[in-house]
Amino acid sequence: MTKKKGIHFEISERKILLRIFDVLFIFFGLYLIELFLDFDYLRINNQNGVALFVLILYISIFGTIFEIYDLQKSNKLDVTFRNIVITVSTTVLFYLLTPFFTPFLPENRLQIIYFYLIIIVMLFLWRLAYTTFISSPRFYKKVLLVGEISNIENIVKPLKETDPNYKIIGFINCEKESEDPIKFKGLQEFQPNELMEVIQKHKISEILVASYDSETITTEIYHDLINLLEHGFTIREYTQVYEEITYRVPIQFVGKDFYKYFPFSRSNQNTLYLFFHRTFDVLFSIIGLLFGILLTPIILLGNLIANRGPLFYTQERVGKNGKIFQITKLRSMIVNAESDGAKWAQKNDVRITTFGKFLRRSRLDEVPQFLNVLKGEMSIIGPRPERPFFVNELSRIIPFYETRHIVKPGLTGWAQVKTRYGSSVDDSLTKLQYDLYYIKHRSIFLDLNIVVKTLSTILYYRGQ
């Protein structure tokens, strides 16, 4: 079978496109103002190679922190423009303050304004082009889903929310017909004998097989899939796509062959990686504690006025290999907040004090935990440590929950930067999926990614 595939950019390709064309548009903008406005602060030539590299480095770092490379936000021009302005403002400020690597301030200060505005204009023009063309329906990846109808909604929703360009056109129920079939109205259903016709008619690029048990796939569909595979058609398994697009492990679709889904990162046993990880923990903890000491007068005053009571509190948490340890935090709730027993913290929780809200949002309540990191009970990066009561409860409900204790818990982690504060079993399931993704793909690059995204979380004042 032959077919003409449409053009589609994968998530990684779109992120690379954003970064590459950022550079090209900025350089083109600098060339234009050099040509028409007698701009000589930063010319495009070999002599300014280091200065140009530093500019692109700053744009890349601050652009990541202020989320101009977040694909979901890149489709919203108002949010994109705001983030571009913040990114460029920070970049230009740092650029002007590092004259050893960048040009000295020009005599004509108006050139700084030209420099600042042209970067904003060129980045926004590129984002406008990206939204108009790359994010348009013509570049959607059109997908046909083959799976059990009872799982369709749980499969479609997270993929759609994460990547709107991954367009599931419809589905084929791979189960044998029953006397009382289930109907799903959220997506068009095709009959098994329409498989080839649907691929041609809708220009399908990929078939996604989502089945708990491959034995449920009917013989007719099985032979059609084999035929397509032999002709080079892309057929992928759902859990692989889910993990690739959402950056989390779909544990709800893991069965008795669970060992196939958890080929945990070699970094978990890599002595060199673990050495650098621990070194980073110690250095960062010392810096964090010194920062906390500097803020002590402000924290004491805030606690005295709007917290009233003990400044610190301790609590049992579950660490690596299920070992219990005592965590120390700045108190953000009223005294005896759990006199009636352990409860999830909720949005707008009345138990949180006025000053406690500030401590939580700014993450200052976490500062004393640097002591736990120095003691080796925690790491800077890892799954958040949970209380024994909730671990026992969640372990009975969520499969593989205790798998998150393979590594040390952390102050921040993949789940913390990718999702909101967990206040229910469903939230805990989502967080576990992210935690297992981190354990599975743990590396220096992922750790750096988490550090940068943590800065975004703090600067945008997210979390509880």
The pLDDT score that the predictor gives to residue 268 is 80
CA proximity to 120, closest of 89, 154, 78, 94:
89
Statement to judge: residues 106 and 236 lie in one domain:
no
- Looking at the fold, whether 289 and 370 belong to one and the same domain comes out as yes
* Rg of the chain, C-alpha, whole Å: 26
Of 134, 159, 181, the residue that ends a domain is 134
Condensed to tens digits (0 to 9), the pLDDT of residues 60-74 reads: 999 998 989 988 888
Question: In the predicted model, what is the mean pLDDT of residues 328-348?
Answer: 74
CATH code, domain carrying 239: 3.40.50.10700
Residue 149 has pLDDT above 80, yes or no: no
- Please indicate, yes or no, if residue 50 is contained in any of the structural domains: yes
151-189: b (≥16 Cβ within 10 Å) or e:
bbeebbebbeebbebbbbbbbbbbbeeeeeeeeeeebeb
Q: Are strands 141-147 and 410-412 parallel, antiparallel or unpaired?
A: unpaired
Mapped onto helix, strand or coil, the DSSP state of residue 325 is strand
Q: What is residue 269's predicted lDDT score, i.e. its pLDDT? A: 82
91 falls within a domain: yes
Instruction: Check pLDDT > 70 for residue 177.
Output: no
Place of tokens 């219990």: 324
141: part of which helix (H) or strand (E)? strand 141-147
Is residue 174 a contact partner of residue 211, using CB atoms and an 8 Å limit? yes
- Residues 164, 299: one domain? no
Residue 251 domain-assigned (yes or no): no
User: What rounded mean pLDDT belongs to the chain?
Assistant: 86
* pLDDT (mean) for 97-126: 91
Same-domain pairing of 125 and 148: no
pLDDT digits (tens, 9 = 90+) for 397-441: 888 899 999 999 999 999 998 887 666 788 888 899 999 999 999
For residue 178, pLDDT over 70 is answered with no
Q: Is the pLDDT of residue 289 over 90?
A: yes
Q: What are phi and psi of 210, to 5 degrees?
A: -130, 90
User: In the chain, pLDDT over 70 holds for what percent of residues?
Assistant: 90
In terms of domains, do 127 and 153 share one?
A: no
pLDDT tens sequence across 205-241: 899 988 766 666 778 888 888 999 998 899 998 888 8
The pLDDT assigned to 214 comes to 67
Q: Which residue has the higher pLDDT, 135 or 37?
A: 37
Residue type for position 398 = I
> Is residue 332 located within the same domain as residue 422?
yes
User: At CA 341, angle to CA 335 and CA 342, rounded to 5?
Assistant: 90
- The 3-state DSSP class for residue 244 equals helix
User: Does residue 253 fall inside a structural domain?
Assistant: no
2 band by pLDDT with thresholds 50, 70 and 90 = very low
Q: How many domains does the chain have?
A: 3
Mean pLDDT within 330-340: 77
Give the residue-averaged pLDDT of 164-171: 87
For residue 347, name the pLDDT band (cuts at 50, 70, 90).
low
In a domain, 1, yes or no: no
Structure confidence at residue 422 (pLDDT): 63
Query: How confident is the model at residue 124, as a pLDDT?
Result: 96
Q: What is the pLDDT of residues 373-392, one digit of tens each?
A: 999 999 999 999 999 999 99
d(CA 431, CA 400): 12
φ, ψ (nearest 5 deg) of residue 294? -65, -35
Residues 324 and 436 in one domain: yes
Residues 411 and 378 sit within 8 Å (Cβ to Cβ): yes
- Residue 69 structural domain: 11-134
* Residue 456 confidence class, pLDDT cut points 50, 70, 90: confident
Is the CB of residue 368 less than 8 Å from the CB of residue 404?
Answer: no
Report, as an integer, the average pLDDT of 443-459. Answer: 88
| Least confident window among 36-45, 180-189, 284-293 | 180-189
Phi and psi torsions of 314, nearest 5°: -115, 155
Q: Which of 134, 162, 188 is the last residue of a domain?
A: 134
Do 300 and 422 have their domain in common? yes
Q: Answer whether 151's CB lies under 8 Å from 191's CB.
A: no
pLDDT at 340: 67
Q: Is residue 261 part of a domain?
A: no
Mean pLDDT of 108-118: 92
Sorting pLDDT into bands at 50, 70 and 90, what band is 267? confident
Residue 176: the pLDDT is: 66
Nearest to 299, CA basis, from 327, 329, 339, 272: 329
| 62/43 same-domain check | yes
- 377 and 293 inside one domain: yes
Arithmetic mean of pLDDT, 19-44: 92
Q: Is residue 252 part of a domain?
A: no
Say whether both 97 and 156 belong to one domain: no
Q: Among 246, 278, 308, which residue terminates a domain?
A: 246
